[in-house]
Amino acid sequence: MKIAVLSGKGGTGKTTVSASLAYSLHNSQYVDCDVEEPNGNIFLKASLTEKEAVMVLNPVVNDDLCTGCGACQQACQFNAIAVINKKVMIFDNICHSCGACKIACPTGAISEVPREVGIIESNSSHTFMHGKLNLNEPLTIPVILQLRKKMNKYNHVIIDSAPGASCTVVSTIEDCDYCVLVTEPTPFGLHDLKIAIDLVKQLKLPFGVVVNKAMDSDTSIQVFCKEQNIDVLMELPYSKEIAKNYSKGILPVQYSNHYKDEFIKLLATIKERTS
Amino acid sequence: MKQFVFISGKGGTGKSTVVASLAKYVNNKALADVDVDAPNLHILLDHEVVEKIPFKGAKIAKIDQSKCTNCHKGYEVCRFDAISKDDIINPLKCEGCGACLLVCPENAITLHDELTGHVYQSKINEEHFTHALLAVGAEGSGKLVAEVKKKVKELVKEEDYLLIDGSPGIGCVVIASITGADACVIVTEATKSGLSDLQRVQQVADHFGIKSFVCINKYDLNIDVTKKIEEYCKNKNVSVIGKIPFEPLIVKALQQFKTPMDDDKLGHIKSEIISLWNQLIKET
């Protein structure tokens, strides 16, 4: 079973929830798909012995064959090609590797060469994996797709998603079996939870909510979920102790059996909901 | 007009709280929120939406089934797995690259503009505030960021400052946010994750030639990490212009839709934010 942990708003506790869940379960695989800022290994401390580059294909032009006709520029929908004075300029960073320019070229002057945009690192047993986008690269999806290909050998795959609700998150969660939406009791948390709910509903994925940093002074999330008939799966309290340990790279399940039990219960609840 | 973008690497470090606080303090400015996936600045600011503008920032392929002969040529060239074997296009997977229509022998495929979100032109008293919301799961968030910046610049005249609330991460949205800015303020927190994410985003800002400043939120949560952040900044010649303590009352203020500037119990946070601003102005 693939469980994706997402949030809309950043910093609500996706990594705390997903890494705690993976840590509490036997035979699980943790996959950090927040490839812009992966933090799971700060907590899970896996020994990353395996590395694999993420490559994309970018066009190159053979000047002997190119007539400077501009068909490639016209075909490119991403403004990654400019033809100036019959000379072709290619902006690799914004190329989506679709191959349209190669199809459009009437003289066969375009071929494609691989270029590294990120890296996938894992431990030897592949129970931990993360993707890391290379600095200054804008496009995350090739890294996420390669991570996805390496999932699903395990009983439980726990996916730590990036924040937001853009195409990056869609490509992370689209084939998972259940989504855990992590939020916090602030107006920001509620606002972005609604965005995340719209996203999982559009993808027709089953989901439930975890309220992190729960406080008695604001129960707006619980009230909203009750009104909308949405499952609140678990609450984690607002606690300076949890925050202090988090700052050192320690999860609540790594020092407290109480929280470990809570996360084992969380999985049981998810299984009940999906059966 | 000076443009300052507030980013963070890691999410939830307090960007919007800092920008909303500055919005209450700084005079003669315009505001923009370019966290288009999950915009939050408008929640804390009493604003009036003047105009809601649809934005078509992506394309999508459509097949005219009456012309389609099911030759599968489109399916064969699509690298995004967006065309099924029975020649149906999945709109969530289609990137609008147009490769399929280049190979279609019947001209049955066309590209159409896709609505990817809305830009909102708002006013806070007489000040301009431009924000946006990406359509759920849409492509082209970087383009929507560029559009927000374009729209706010069409309106501003004599303003001294443009304050831009950015998004977490280091990818296309962040690169589009910082392009053309006079400086970025990286709001981080005293956690190992905060430090790691700060380092990545600061290097991206450096690469694009944008001067960065750092504000450490919850600095007293972990003094060791705060020291490491300061050390990193010193090595990179980056000024730490603010240090905000761990303060649960900030969360309580936010729960009542208040910024630290509007809460009598948060005078110490207010003075820290004012000092951050003065430092920023002095150094730019």
Model confidence at B104: pLDDT above 80: yes
Measure the CA–CA gap between A275 and B89, rounded to whole angstroms: 31
In chain B, whose CA is at the least distance from the CA of A218? Answer: B255
Q: Which residue has the tokens 């207010």?
A: B270
Question: Can you give the pLDDT at residue A26?
Answer: 82
Contact state of B102 with A75 under an 8 Å Cβ cutoff: yes
pLDDT tens figures, A255-264: 999 999 999 9
Which residues in chain A have Cβ-Cβ distances shorter than 8 Å to B219? none
Q: A120 to chain B nearest CA, in Å?
A: 17
Average pLDDT over residues A89-113: 97
Contact state of B136 with A39 under an 8 Å Cβ cutoff: no
Average pLDDT over residues A31-49: 98
Q: Which of residues 67-96 of B touch A (CB under 8 A)?
A: 77, 79-80, 92, 95-96
Average pLDDT over residues B95-99: 96
Residues A45 and A201 sit within 8 Å (Cβ to Cβ): no
Q: Which residue has the tokens 């700084």?
A: B26
Model confidence at A223: pLDDT above 80: yes
Closest CB to B11: pick one of A10, A97, A217: A10
Best B170, B219, B225, B236 member to test A by mutation, with max A CBs in 10 Å, is: B170
Average pLDDT over residues B226-244: 98
Contact state of B37 with A8 under an 8 Å Cβ cutoff: yes
Contact state of A165 with B37 under an 8 Å Cβ cutoff: yes
Q: B31 to chain A nearest CA, in Å?
A: 18
pLDDT band at B219 (very low <50, low <70, confident <90, very high): very high
Contact state of B137 with A165 under an 8 Å Cβ cutoff: yes
Q: B276 to chain A nearest CA, in Å?
A: 22
Closest CB to A162: pick one of B97, B169, B208: B169
pLDDT tens figures, B175-205: 999 999 999 999 999 999 999 999 999 999 9
User: Mind listing the domains of chain B with CATH numbers?
Assistant: 2-56+117-283 (3.40.50.300), 65-107 (no CATH)
**Adjacency order of strands within the sheet including A50-61:** A50-61, A110-122, A128-133, A28-32, A156-160, A2-6, A178-183, A207-214, A232-237
Look up the ipTM and state it. 0.95
Which is nearest to B22 in space by CA: B37, B38, B2, B52? Answer: B2
CATH 3.30.70.20 domain locations along chain A: 55-115
Which is nearest to A69 in space by CA: A110, A99, A97? Answer: A110
Contact state of B203 with A166 under an 8 Å Cβ cutoff: no
Burial class (CB in 10 A: 0-12, 13-18, 19+), A235: middle
Q: Does B155 touch chain A (CB under 8 A)?
A: no
Q: B34 to chain A nearest CA, in Å?
A: 12
Q: Which residues contact A196 (CB under 8 A, 6 or more apart)?
A: A6, A7, A8, A165, A181, A183
CATH number assigned to the domain covering A2-49+123-274: 3.40.50.300
Contact state of A78 with B141 under an 8 Å Cβ cutoff: no
Q: Which fold has domain A55-115?
A: Alpha-Beta Plaits (3.30.70)
pLDDT tens figures, A106-128: 999 999 999 999 999 999 999 99
Q: Report residue B29 as tokens.
A: 């400015």
Contact state of B171 with A139 under an 8 Å Cβ cutoff: yes
Q: Which residues contact A34 (CB under 8 A, 6 or more apart)?
A: A14, A15, A40, A160, A161, A162, A163
Average pLDDT over residues A135-148: 96
Closest CB to B193: pick one of A39, A138, A220: A39
Q: B2 to chain A nearest CA, in Å?
A: 24
- In the DSSP assignment, the letter for residue B221 is G
Average pLDDT over residues A52-71: 98
